[in-house]
Structure formats: C-alpha cells, structure tokens
C-alpha cells in the first residue's frame, strides 16, 4: 500500500475582510476531498502532515513564506504529495507554475493534485499538458484562427495564397482600394509552352510515362528545378506524378481552385489533401489552357483509368510487401508477365531495371521456407504436452491468485480501520506507525507474488495465442498453398528484390512476422 504524506496548500492575495473566510474554506474543502479519497482509494494511505497557508501574498511569484517552508519540507523528504484547491491558489504565473508541476515535482517524485481543475500528475491526465503551455497555446490558437479566416477571404475573392506561382505561371498584383489581390497570368516563356504541350500530347493518346520520357529526352528542366510547387520528382527529372499533377490542376484551365491541401492543425506542419467539398473556388481567369480543353482532359483521364483497371479489382498477393532494393520503389503486378516488376522501371527515364519475379517463384520460395521453419522449430507432441501443462499451471495459479486477492482486501479493510482510529485519536502515532509497517510488509509480499503469477499467466497465454494464430496461417499455405493478399500480409513483413545490373542475377530477401526478431532469408533466383 502506498503511503502519501500530504501537504495542504492554501493562499489568498490580501488580508482584506472579504477574503477572511476564503482560507478556512479552502482548507476545509481539501480536508473533505482527502477523506473521501482515502475511502475511495483502498490501495493507498493518505497521511495529512501539514497545512501551509499564505495570507496576503500575490500569486504572480513564489516568494511566499509558507510556500518556501513547504519546499524545505519537500527537500527534507517529509512530504511526497501537495494538495491545493485550484491552479489560481497555487499560482497565477503560469510559466513558473508549469516549472513546478512539470519539472520540480516530477524530479522530486512529488504528487501534485489540484481538485477543482482536475490536475493529478500521478495519474498523468492530459489536463497538465495544456496547463504548461496555456499562455502561448491560446495565443497561437487565436492567431491561427485569424490567419485562416483572412486566407479564406483572400481565396474567396480569387487571390492566390501560394508562396510561388504554379509551373508556367507568374504572379500579378492588383489593388482595388485597400484590397490586394494576387492573380495568376501565363509566364509566356518555355514553361508555359511545356504546359500546353503536355495537354496536347495527352489528348493525342500519350500516357504519363511516355510524356515524362519525351520531356526528359529533350532535357527540359522539371518543375522541381523551377519552383517548389511540385516536389514529386525524387530523381530531378520529369515523372508520372508531376505530369498527372499538371493535368489535373484546375488552375491550368483558368479556375482559381484553392485549399486542395491544408495543414492538419496549427500545431502540426503535415499537409494532407482535402475533400472536394472543402475546395474553395475563387472564380475564373484566363488560364494557359482553355477551360473546355481542360475538361476534355479530365474526362479522358477517367476513361483511361476505367479501361486499364483489372476486372474485379483483383488484389494480388504480394503487391503490398514487395520492394525494390536498388531504388526503394514498390513492385507492381504485371498481368501479361504473371509476376511483379519494379514500378520505376515502367516510368519515364528508365530510372531502374525491371527486377522482375514470377508470382509462382515467390510462392515456391515461401512454402519451402515455411516447411523448413516448421520442421526445425515445431513438434506437435511437445506442443500438445506443453499446452496441457499450461492449462494445469493456469488453473493452479488462478486459485492462488484468488486467495491473494481476498487476503489483500482484508488488509485494505484493516488499513482503513487503523486510519479511522488515528483520525479519531484512538491510537497514538507510534502505535499507528508500527501497525501500518506490519500490514504493509505483508501486503508488499502478497503484491509481489500476485505480480509474478500474473506475469506467468500472461506469458503462457501469449505463447498459446501466438502458436494458435500462426499455426492456422502456416497450415493454409503449406497444405493447401492458398496465397491470398491478407494471408501473406499476416505472415510476411516485407520482401526485398535485389538485381545485379551486370549479371541480372536476382536475390530475394524475405522478412517474416512470426520470428522472434526480424531476420532475412536469401534465395538466389
């Protein structure tokens, strides 16, 4: 049982008559809370050591007589819990108060409880975090609201809020009275012509990859070299993502559509795409591409995506776990090949080799690995025997746990009675301490044994659950060779395919989920 040596702290700002009743009201309220907490929390004992009262001291600093006396008693290890009514009684200087609550008390293992503001650093409730940052938190939040509203108004009237113009455009500033509007106009340079050519080639039947390869062959700098608006290119060249971003951006069709991405919150810088209904349309302007041409391209993109979609939306077994070792890209299923190839090898610029591997080859490798693993590490007779012993051990430990729980409840009731006797002055301090010490020794021994039994049961349960879970999954693959995407994901963490550029020899590294530590198996293909 935990013993809390409690210090009650109360404060009033002045010695004026209207605050005379505030101090005893604070102390009485805290005593009542302490009494109720003692009855509610049967695992702890609350011993009121001292009451500290500061009359006529401001809360803006900690240069107070009784507060300093309380700190001295904390340093002397007389106190390990501070109890106050609300944060304003403890301090009005939130920064310094944050130091004591978040730093000093924790370092000195002092439990700090503020009853009305629901602060208890022992329970680690979330209220403590905003308390520490209350000044700058509210300031930043208020500023963020004002900035977001101002940006929204700018977007509604068609003013760009971007730091730089999209590829092919330049900014033009227009003033209407006090209102400043930043509009987009074609840059009328190479970048503008490249945008027009991208739309033209796509309408002529070219795909993203072919357009990217064509632009790279002409050594035209990609947007990443001109602006930070598009940063999809990891290799400093045109790629499929960049082409798609341009073709699907409404601004190229003369539509000032903004807020297509936004920060998660004012606290987090991460940007995520927004839903279509969150987009803000600031009106139309003269774009690089005519609006009807832009809409024609959008229709074409939809038709092509439907045309190339596999029937039934087939989920291929290894599509989520296969990675290329050389470019770290994903490997996608190719229907005509009946296997997987590095995605970047199919894109413009020839950034990687195919790293091709048949699906049936992967199936064969994994079945061999699993059979070898099962033969090496599992024995059905031993497992059945172990499970039987586990059940018997669990039954025995369960009975012992129940006895321990009953004995702990008896000791808790005894503690409560001793505590009540002390409050009613039926026993003196010396006898109280002797009785408490004796009870606590018995309780500590029981709690230690209880924890040992619980840890044992947890370990046995974990072993049993792990075996039962993976036994079924491995059996499906070995006995029936049933390879489904969900099944593979349960057994396999990731598969890395490496390919030597000269010899074209491939190696497959497979990382399994069910091993004690992540390891790799190498297979020459």
SS (H, E, C) 340-392: EEEHHHHCCCCCCCCCCEEHHHHHHHHHHHHHHHHHHHCCHHHHHHHHHHHHH
What CATH number does the domain containing 302 carry?
Answer: 3.90.1750
Q: What is the DSSP string of 17-64?
A: GGGTTHHHHHHHHHHHHHHHHHHH-TTEEEEEEEEEEEES--TTS---
pTM above 0.75, yes or no: no
Q: Is residue 281, in this structure, part of any structural domain at all?
A: yes
Which tokens in the block code for residue 485?
């995407």
Sheet of strand 111-114: strand arrangement: 44-55, 2-12, 81-84, 111-114, 119-120
Q: What is the DSSP string of 258-273?
A: E-SEEES-SS---EEE
291/186 same-domain check: yes
Q: Is residue 445, in this structure, part of any structural domain at all?
A: no
Domain boundary among 309, 335, 354: 309
Q: Is residue 413, in this structure, part of any structural domain at all?
A: no
Q: What is the DSSP string of 66-105?
A: HHHHHHHHHHTTS-SEEEES-HHHH-S-HHHHHHIIIIIH
User: How far is 80 from 7, CA to CA, in rounded Å?
Assistant: 8
Q: Is residue 320, in this structure, part of any structural domain at all?
A: yes
What are 257's strand-pairing partners? Answer: 281
Q: Is the dihedral of CA 481, 485, 489, 493 positive or negative?
A: positive
329 φ, ψ to 5°?
-85, 175
Cβ contact 341:331 at 8 Å: yes
Per-residue pLDDT of the chain (525 residues), as tens digits, is 789 999 999 888 766 555 666 788 888 889 999 988 888 888 888 999 999 998 877 655 677 889 999 999 999 999 999 999 877 777 755 556 767 877 788 888 999 988 877 788 877 544 554 454 454 345 456 666 777 788 888 888 888 888 889 999 999 998 887 778 899 999 999 999 999 999 999 988 788 878 888 898 888 989 877 654 444 444 568 888 899 999 999 999 999 999 888 877 655 557 788 888 888 898 999 999 999 999 999 988 887 765 444 444 566 778 778 888 888 778 888 888 888 988 887 665 567 888 888 888 888 888 787 777 766 665 555 655 665 666 566 667 777 888 888 888 888 888 778 877 776 778 888 887 888 888 888 888 888 888 887 777 666 665 555 555 555 555 555 554 555 665 676 677 788 888 887 887 888 888 877 654 343 444 455
pLDDT of residue 289: 93
User: How far is 501 from 354, CA to CA, in rounded Å?
Assistant: 10
303/180 same-domain check: yes
Residue that the structure tokens 């001292």 belong to: 50
211/323 same-domain check: no
DSSP 165: P
86/197 same-domain check: no
- Residue 108: name the closest of 70, 60, 145 by CA: 70
- Helix (H) or strand (E) holding 57, with range, is none
255: left (phi over 0), alpha (psi -120 to 50) or beta: beta
Helix (H, G, I), strand (E, B) or coil at 399: helix
- Residue 498: name the closest of 324, 363, 353, 360 by CA: 324
CA 272 to mean position of chain CA atoms = 15
113/17 same-domain check: yes
Through-space distance between the first and last CA atoms of the chain, rounded to whole angstroms: 63
- Residue 166: name the closest of 298, 254, 274 by CA: 254
296/275 same-domain check: yes
243/280 same-domain check: yes
Which tokens in the block code for residue 306?
């439907």
DSSP 18: G
To the nearest 10 degrees (0 to 180), the angle between helices 208-217 and 240-248 is 110
Q: Which residues of 407-437 are buried (b: 16+ CB within 10 A; e: fewer)?
A: ebeebbebbeebbeebeeeeeeeeebeebbe
Cβ contact 518:493 at 8 Å: yes
Strand blocks (E) in 162-277: 169-176, 179-186, 255-258, 261-263, 271-273
pLDDT of residue 336: 84
Residue that the structure tokens 């025995």 belong to: 396
Q: How far is CA 277 from CA 260, 274, 476, in A?
A: 10, 8, 45
Return all residues near 77 (Cβ < 8 A) that are at least 6 apart: none
Q: Is residue 295, in this structure, part of any structural domain at all?
A: yes
pLDDT of residue 518: 40
259/336 same-domain check: no
Q: What is the count of structural domains for the chain? A: 3
pLDDT of residue 49: 92
Number of Cβ atoms within 10 Å of the Cβ of 524: 7
316/192 same-domain check: no
Q: Is the dihedral of CA 335, 341, 344, 349 positive or negative?
A: negative
Q: Is residue 424, in this structure, part of any structural domain at all?
A: no
Q: Radius of gyration (Cα) for the chain, nearest Å?
A: 35
pLDDT of residue 312: 45
Q: Is residue 11, in this structure, part of any structural domain at all?
A: yes
CA 233 to mean position of chain CA atoms = 27
212/253 same-domain check: yes
Cβ contact 189:195 at 8 Å: no
Domain boundary among 255, 285, 309: 309
pLDDT of residue 94: 58
Domain boundary among 309, 343, 360: 309
300/318 same-domain check: no
The boundaries of the domain holding residue 233 are 169-309
127/26 same-domain check: yes
What CATH number does the domain containing 122 carry?
Answer: 3.40.50.1390
474: left (phi over 0), alpha (psi -120 to 50) or beta: alpha
Q: Is residue 420, in this structure, part of any structural domain at all?
A: no
Cβ contact 22:66 at 8 Å: no
């Amino acid at each position: 049982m935990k013993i809390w040596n409690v210090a009650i702290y109360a404060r009033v700002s002045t010695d004026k008559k209207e605050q005379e009743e505030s101090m005893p009201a604070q102390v009485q309220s805290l005593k009542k809370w302490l009494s109720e907490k003692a009855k509610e929390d049967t695992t702890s004992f609350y011993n009121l050591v001292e009451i500290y009262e500061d009359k006529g001291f401001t809360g803006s600093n900690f240069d107070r007589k009784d507060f300093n006396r309380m700190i001295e008693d904390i340093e002397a290890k007389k106190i390990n819990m501070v109890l106050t009514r609300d944060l304003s009684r403890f301090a009005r200087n939130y920064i310094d108060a944050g130091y004591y609550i978040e730093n000093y008390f924790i370092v000195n293992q002092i439990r700090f409880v503020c009853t009305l503001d629901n602060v208890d650093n022992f329970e680690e409730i979330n209220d403590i975090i905003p308390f520490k940052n209350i000044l700058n938190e509210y300031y930043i939040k208020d500023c963020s609201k004002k900035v977001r509203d101002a940006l929204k108004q700018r977007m509604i009237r068609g003013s760009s809020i971007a730091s730089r113009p999209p590829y092919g455009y330049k900014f033009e500033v227009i003033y209407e009275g006090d209102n400043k509007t930043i509009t987009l106009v074609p840059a009328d340079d190479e970048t503008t012509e490249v945008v027009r050519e991208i739309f033209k080639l796509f309408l002529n039947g070219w795909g993203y990859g072919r357009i990217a390869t064509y632009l790279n062959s002409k050594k035209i700098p990609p947007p990443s070299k001109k602006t930070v608006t598009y940063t999809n290119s990891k290799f400093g060249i045109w790629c499929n993502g960049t082409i798609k971003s341009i073709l699907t951006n409404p601004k190229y069709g003369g539509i000032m559509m903004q807020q297509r991405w936004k920060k998660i919150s004012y606290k987090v810088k991460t940007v995520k795409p927004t839903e279509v209904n969150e987009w803000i349309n600031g009106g139309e302007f003269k774009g690089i591409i005519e609006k009807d041409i832009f809409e024609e391209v959008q229709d074409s993109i939809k038709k092509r995506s439907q045309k190339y979609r596999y029937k039934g939306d087939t989920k291929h077994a290894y599509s989520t776990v296969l990675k290329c070792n050389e470019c770290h890209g994903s490997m996608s299923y190719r229907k005509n090949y009946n296997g997987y190839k590095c995605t970047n090898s199919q894109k413009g610029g020839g950034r990687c080799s195919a790293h091709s591997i048949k699906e049936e080859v992967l199936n064969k490798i994994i079945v061999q690995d699993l059979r070898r693993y099962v033969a090496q590490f599992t024995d059905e007779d031993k497992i059945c025997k172990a499970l039987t012993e586990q059940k018997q051990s669990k039954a025995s430990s369960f009975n012992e746990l129940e006895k321990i729980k009953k004995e702990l409840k008896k000791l808790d009731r005894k503690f409560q009675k001793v505590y009540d006797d002390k409050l009613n002055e039926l026993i003196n301090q010396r006898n109280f301490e002797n009785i408490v010490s004796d009870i606590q020794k018995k309780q500590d021994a029981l709690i230690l044994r209880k924890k040992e039994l619980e840890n044992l049961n947890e370990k046995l349960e974990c072993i049993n659950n792990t075996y039962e879970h993976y036994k079924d999954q491995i059996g499906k693959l070995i006995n029936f060779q049933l390879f489904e995407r969900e099944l593979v994901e349960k057994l396999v963490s990731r598969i890395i395919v490496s390919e030597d550029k000269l010899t074209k020899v491939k190696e497959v590294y497979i990382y399994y989920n069910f091993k004690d530590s992540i390891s790799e198996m190498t297979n020459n293909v």
